Amino acid sequence: MAQFTEQIGSEGLGEDGLLYRVLQRAGPRIFYAVGICILLAGNSYFLIFNSVSDLFSALGVINVGFYGTLSAVIVLCGVFLYRGDTSRSRYPRAAAWILCAVVFLFFLNAPVMALLADQMNTEFLFGWVMSIVAISTTGGAVVGTIEARSIERAQLNQHLRTERAAAEYHADQLEYLNSVLRHEVLNNVNIIQGYAEHGLEGEGTQEGALSVIYQQSEEMATIITDVRILIASIQGTGSLEARNLSRVLTEELEKVQAREEVEVTANIPDDIFVEADDLLPRVFRNLFSNAVKHNDSPMPKIEVAVEEWSDTVEVRVADNGPGIPESKQASLFESSMEANHGIGLYLVHELLLRYGGNIKLVETGTNGTEFKVEFGRPAKEDGGSTAA
């Protein structure tokens, strides 16, 4: 019956329909009106077949008490809906429970009433129908109110759990970033200071000291840039829209070739779009950089292939490096203070989570490593920005 009331409460009434809007706006007042109508109808029926003086008889008092109690319960349901800060969107479904309960109980009694019709007088038959309407209306009001309040509390609890989880996630991320900055940046600063002191004191060659200082400065700049990008990812700055993946991949491969001596093989169809933001280039910048940085072969190689599916786009990135040790594979995309200053693949993973995609380690070994990156397609490929 719950599924039926859901259809009556939304699809049947139509969320844009007049009746739905009336129930949504009136809400508890409908319950008040129904409760009063039950009280008036129950006592009016009694007066049709009895005199006014009979209201004070035992049967009259029972009748008034019966319909008065049911009426009060229905009115109280309306009060609970209003005082309980129940969302207006719940009102139509709560009201639908009344209709469903009346229809259900009426059809349950209809066959019996049809069989006994010849043996019942008009007053008894009318009283039976009134009792069915009053009891089913009250039952529907109670169930509808309880369900509406339960759904509201469940959604509130879910919202609180989501907010708590997000707060814990952000706290963990900030703690991780803090540890990265404290450990890595300070470590680089100490190295730079040490070599600067050696150079000032005339120890070693100035060229060697300057070379180390330059390398450590570059590493520190990269760390700070990655931290900034990760913070932007956590904060969710920048809207997700259609981005030209083909252009991003081509430009990032050109950049890595300009910086490093590397052999590139690419199969990239033109104008492939994915849902992402301005940080998309960083995904492949890190992957390509890792493919070269941790590659001890005479000529590092990067192979990139893009495949399109009905609702996803798949990018495979392979290299000819020494592979990833088995001990590191399980925690490859987790926050870590190990090689690549603990952000590289973790940053890639976090960005892809934001895009609704993922990254997987397909295979790794002495012949190289292959990653698979998956993206969701934008809703309208021709309607989004093609910014890289």
Rg (CA), the chain: 36
Q: How far apart are CA 95 and CA 275, in angstroms?
A: 42
Instruction: Please indicate, yes or no, if residue 387 is contained in any of the structural domains.
Output: no
Give yes or no: residues 101 and 213 share one domain: no
Instruction: Please indicate, yes or no, if residue 386 is contained in any of the structural domains.
Output: no
Give yes or no: residues 87 and 221 share one domain: no
- What's the CATH code of the domain at 372? 3.30.565.10
Domain boundary among 185, 219, 234: 234
Domain boundary among 164, 189, 213: 164
Give yes or no: residues 69 and 139 share one domain: yes
Model pLDDT, residue 202: 62
Q: How far apart are CA 68 and CA 85, in angstroms?
A: 26
Model pLDDT, residue 345: 85
Q: What residues pair up with 369 in beta bridges, in sequence order?
A: 364
Integer angstrom CA distances of residue 234 from 239, 241, 373 = 13, 17, 20
Give yes or no: residues 351 and 307 share one domain: yes
Number of H helices, E strands in the chain: 12, 7
Give yes or no: residues 338 and 213 share one domain: no
Give yes or no: residues 131 and 219 share one domain: no
Domain boundary among 164, 196, 218: 164
Give yes or no: residues 176 and 96 share one domain: no
Domain span at residue 228 reads 171-234
Instruction: Please indicate, yes or no, if residue 371 is contained in any of the structural domains.
Output: yes
Model pLDDT, residue 24: 67
Instruction: Please indicate, yes or no, if residue 383 is contained in any of the structural domains.
Output: no
Instruction: Please indicate, yes or no, if residue 202 is contained in any of the structural domains.
Output: yes
Give yes or no: residues 79 and 137 share one domain: yes
Instruction: Please indicate, yes or no, if residue 297 is contained in any of the structural domains.
Output: yes
Instruction: Please indicate, yes or no, if residue 385 is contained in any of the structural domains.
Output: no
Give yes or no: residues 69 and 133 share one domain: yes
Give yes or no: residues 200 and 330 share one domain: no
Give yes or no: residues 10 and 92 share one domain: yes
- Residue 347: phi and psi, rounded to 5, are -65, -45
Instruction: Please indicate, yes or no, if residue 206 is contained in any of the structural domains.
Output: yes
Give yes or no: residues 180 and 292 share one domain: no
Q: How far apart are CA 7 and CA 14, in angstroms?
A: 9
**How many domains is the chain partitioned into structurally?**
3
79 closest CA partner among 42, 24, 30, 38: 30
Collect all residues with Cβ–Cβ distance below 8 Å to 74 and sequence separation of at least 6: 31, 34, 35, 38, 137, 138, 141
Count CB atoms within 10 A of the CB of residue 45: 19
pLDDT in tens, the chain (388 residues): 555 445 444 444 455 566 667 666 767 788 888 888 888 888 887 888 888 887 788 888 888 899 899 999 988 888 888 776 777 777 787 888 888 888 888 888 888 877 777 777 777 878 888 888 888 888 888 888 888 888 888 888 888 887 787 777 677 666 666 666 666 677 777 777 777 776 666 665 667 777 777 777 877 777 777 677 667 666 665 578 899 999 999 999 998 998 889 999 999 999 999 999 888 988 998 899 889 988 888 999 999 999 998 889 999 999 999 999 888 888 888 776 554 434 678 878 888 988 999 999 999 998 899 999 999 888 754 444 444 4
